[in-house]
Structure 1
Amino acid sequence: MTSNRPLRFAAALSVEPDSAKAERQCLDRLTTDLDGSRPDLIAVFVSHHHGASIEELGPRIARELGTNAIVGCTGESIIGGTREVEAEPALSLWAASLPDTRVTTFECTAKPHEDERPTFSARPPIGERTQSSILLFADPFSFPADDYLRVLNDEFPGVPVVGGMASGGMGPGQNLLITADGLRAGGAFGAVLEGGVEVCSVVSQGCRPVGKPWVVTASHENLVQKLGGRAAVEVLAETLQHLPTRDRQLFQRQPFVGLAIDPAKSTFERGDFLVRQIVGVQPQEKAIAVSDIPRRGSTLQFLVRDADSASEDLAALMSSQGGGSVEGDAHGAGALLFSCNGRGSRMFTTRDHDVTKVRAGLHADLPIAGFFAMGEIGPVGKRNFLHAYTASVAVFRARRS
């Protein structure tokens, strides 16, 4: 049965250091902007400055706004409205009234096994894959999100997963996941959305190619041994030798490779590569170690990242793949933004960079919230990955028939 109530979103940000006042400010703003609509999903992002008050934050919000579907976490820096509040007190709330949409929360823990992949306590409760999306938040010290995403890719192909790893904590138990019935100091917590809301995901990896693409002709685990039949280290050295000075310096400071998502492709464009770091070299084997498992026969591209390329990439993706402009009522669509904690003022000279680019690309003053993550989750191609140094965006709007 189709509901008559409209799709509606609201968001509120408070930088008030007094926790009770910050919470009150955000709740009052949400209530006003929801304009009588009942929220079906609430996202909460809060800085560690709010300390002990975080413990009952989820239950208090659930009681006041009348929903148990609450997700979110603590973050080193918090996003809301037009701002990215870095390393200062902040609370950001986001609410969505989602007619004809089933929202189901779930939690999961991981059990490690020596010399084997971990096992997981739960799967997302997905019914109809073609109309499903997942929001996922996890603790980086206790939950191997990359392994979990591999499981979800295999068991729920084509279902997008967007979210991030809680940040700001320096060790196990310090990052907190926020739910309607309290906190989780480990594991993962998320929500499945099925039905009337469409979630358009955008992942900006912010790199540009240098040199030419190479075919991986020999590899072992995370080692690239040969490229185009030649020792990988020799190919890397030759590539560096022919780079302009600035690109060479960028690569030496932060070396990246792109691994082609589609092995059948021979020409590549934006979004065709999964960006991974070079984590070392093996001189004896003349091999390059990367932070993934490169497959023999796949294409590898050397990459560099700087503020200009990251800015241009996000702007272009939001313009071309962000679902176009969001027309009409500013509360009829919403967005969540998960930026790497290595972005912000650490990467850009302008304040509020990522949220400004997202808003400009959508051409709307839509409700937006998020945080700086210790790893961002989002799809590249048709598979979901855990990223670094990226901006992962989820845009919510009515599903088009």
Structure 2
Amino acid sequence: MADQMQWSNALSTRPSLEAAISEVVEQAVGKLSKKANLAIAFISSAFTSEYSRFLPLLAEQLEVPVLIGCSGGGVVGTSSDGEAQELEDEPALSLTLAYLPEVNIYPFHVVAEELPDLDSSPNAWVDLIEVPPEGIPQFILLSGNIASGINDLLKGLDFAYPGSVTVGGQASGGINNRIALFCNDELHTEGTVGIALTGNITLDTIVAQGCRPIGTPHQIGKCDRNIILEIEQQVPLILLRDLIGSLSEEEKILAQNSLFVGVAMSEFKQDLQQGDFLIRNILGVDPAAGAIAVGDYLRPGQRLQFHLRDAQTSAEDLEFLLNKYQQEQAGKSSPVGALMFSCLGRGEGLYKQPNFDSQLFQRYIKDIPLGGFFCNGEIGPVGDSTFVHGFTSVFAIARQNGERG
């Protein structure tokens, strides 16, 4: 019988960093019967002044070949009684440990200045990451802000590693947004840290963007970079006003503050559903030209559909995707652990109750440890490409390759 993968997670709310580290190490190590070869740590921004002490203190108590982690405005973990918890705006530490047999783990740190030009060959990206593409690696990335070059890095990885999965999030901080990125024994404040996993591991993804479509899909007729100039020979703003006019009173109110554009990721799929769109912000309108500006570059011929977002929609969207994942899991190997990368704009501020996304996840995918953090942007795939999202919860679910034994 093949050696089995093991994951554990421990959570601490001790206000002393030393005490928090001792608690999570003791609990996370105690849940494994084998020595971990990967650690993933998330530290809340309440410890901002102590980021530099974290790795030396952790090294005194935990010996592990590869470690990555970062700071978060909140952290996600599994309490001692197995319940998922999301801890926002308070001292907290989440430590995930994994024993990954027959898995190669490649840690790396890259900064924007090192990234190849987007016209470069795939080999330039492979040389940067130093991971062979033949193994179809699974990537977990933790990045600084947009200036870290994360958008270009995602495009490069998609290009150089076709078939790979990439998930993660942008580190977040407190009021001053001072962030920390951890890679083995080094603390970084910019760039991206990550790991590539090859071998006997699969990362399944759930990307819950929390929106529902309204109206019908349309095709972009004319656009200039991120500005929509024409939709199916109609003036975009007139088409949008007509759509809003057809909504219920409740939806009209919602559309004033929570209206988005969904860009279809497949050129060929006819029956577009939730999850088939990349959700982007509407940045503004030009009443004179009737144009609409959105938060991404577009091209003529792409299909789009307007979307609304609120707490109920976010809940229904995640439940829809979890149910779909559960049905697709039939016959596959069982999940052993998961990571959650959730937007700072979700959590208790959105749902008006704690632990919503994490505990909904646990209702569908039971009895596995969950770790994670609240991000400034969430990294996950839609269709065959990887993006930085907003207001999204991205889950990475780890299991061994193949089918149930």
Using the alignment, how far apart are the partners of 2:113 and 2:161 within structure 1? Answer: 21
Return the offset for 1:171.
5.3
How big is the alpha-carbon RMSD for the aligned residues of Structure 1 and Structure 2?
2.5
- Match of 1:53, SS state, is helix
- For the residue of structure 2 that corresponds to 1:158, the secondary structure is coil
Tell me the residue number matched to 1:365: 367
Which position in structure 2 is the counterpart of 1:355? 358
Question: Which piece of structure 1 moves more, 85-94 or 237-246?
Answer: 237-246
**1:9-49 C-alpha deviation (Å, 9 max, x unpaired):** 110000111111111000000121012x1212111000122
Partner of 1:212: 216
Does the residue aligned with 1:263 lie in a helix, a strand or coil?
A: coil
TM superposition shift of 1:58 = 2.8
Partners of 2:307 and 2:247 lie apart in 1 by 11
The 8 Å contact of residues 125 and 192 in structure 1, kept in 2 or not, is answered as no
What SS does structure 2 have at the residue aligned with 1:333? Answer: strand
Q: Distance in 2 between matches of 1:295 and 1:197?
A: 36
Q: What letter corresponds to residue 391 of structure 2 in structure 1? A: Y
Q: Any idea what SS the aligned residue of 1:371 has?
A: strand
Report deviation, 1:202: 0.8
3-state SS in 2 of match to 1:126: coil
The yes-or-no answer on 1:134 pairing with 2:139 is: yes
What is the distance in 2 between the residues matched to 1:50 and 1:371?
A: 14
Secondary structure of the structure 1 residue equivalent to 2:22: helix
String of CA shifts for 1:193-235, please: whole Å, max 9, x gaps: 0011111111001111111111101111001111111111111
Give distance in 1, aligned partners of 2:261 and 2:332.
38
Equivalent pair of 1:47/1:76 in contact (CA under 8 Å): yes
Quick one: which of 299, 303, 306 aligns to 1:295? 299
CA–CA distance in 2 between the matches of 1:328 and 1:213? Answer: 37
2:278 and 2:136 map into 1 onto residues whose CA distance is 25
Match of 1:33 in 2: 31
- Counting only pairs closer than 5 Å after superposition, residues 173-322 of structure 1 correspond to structure 2 as 174-321=178-325
Code of the residue aligned with 1:67 in structure 2: it is V
Q: Give a deviation string over 1:299-322, Cα, whole Å, max 9, x none.
A: 110000011111011112122225
Cα deviation digits, residues 253-303 of structure 1 (max 9, x gap): 022010000112232112111111111012232210000112211111000
Count matched residues: 392
Contact 2:74 2:374 survives alignment (8 Å) = yes
Q: Could you tell me how far apart the structure 2 residues matched to 1:220 and 1:141 are?
A: 22
8 Å contact kept, 1:56–1:182: no
Instruction: Please tell me whether residue 91 in structure 1 is matched to residue 93 in structure 2.
Output: yes
Task: Give the TM-score normalised by the residue count of structure 2.
Answer: 0.91
C-alpha distance 371-325 of structure 1, shift in aligned 2 (>3 A): farther
Residue ranges of structure 2 left out of the alignment (5+ in a row): 79-83
How far apart are residue 53 of structure 1 and its match?
Answer: 3.5
The AA in structure 1 aligned to 2:353 is T
Equivalent residue letter for 2:62: L
The amino acid that maps onto 1:252 is: Q
* Aligned: 1:334 with 2:337: yes
Matched, 1:66 2:63: yes
Letter in 1 for 2:77: G
**Residue 92 of structure 2 aligns to which amino acid in structure 1?**
A
> What corresponds to 2:166 in structure 1?
161
Which stretch has the larger CA shift, 73-82 or 145-154? 145-154
Q: Helix, strand or coil: the match of 1:314?
A: helix
Q: CA deviation at 1:118?
A: 11
Decide whether the 8 Å contact of 2:136 with 2:161 is kept in 1. no
SS class of match (1:347): helix
Partner of 2:81: none
What amino acid maps onto 2:19 in structure 1? K
Aligned to 1:144: 149
TM-score computed with the length of structure 1 as normaliser? 0.91
Report Cα offsets for 1:150-183 as digits up to 9, x if no partner.
22222222211100000124557x1110122121
Unmatched tracts of structure 1, length 5 or more: none
Shift of 1:112: 10
Inter-CA distance 63–135: structure 2 relative to 1 (3 Å threshold): farther
Per-residue deviation at 1:382?
1.4
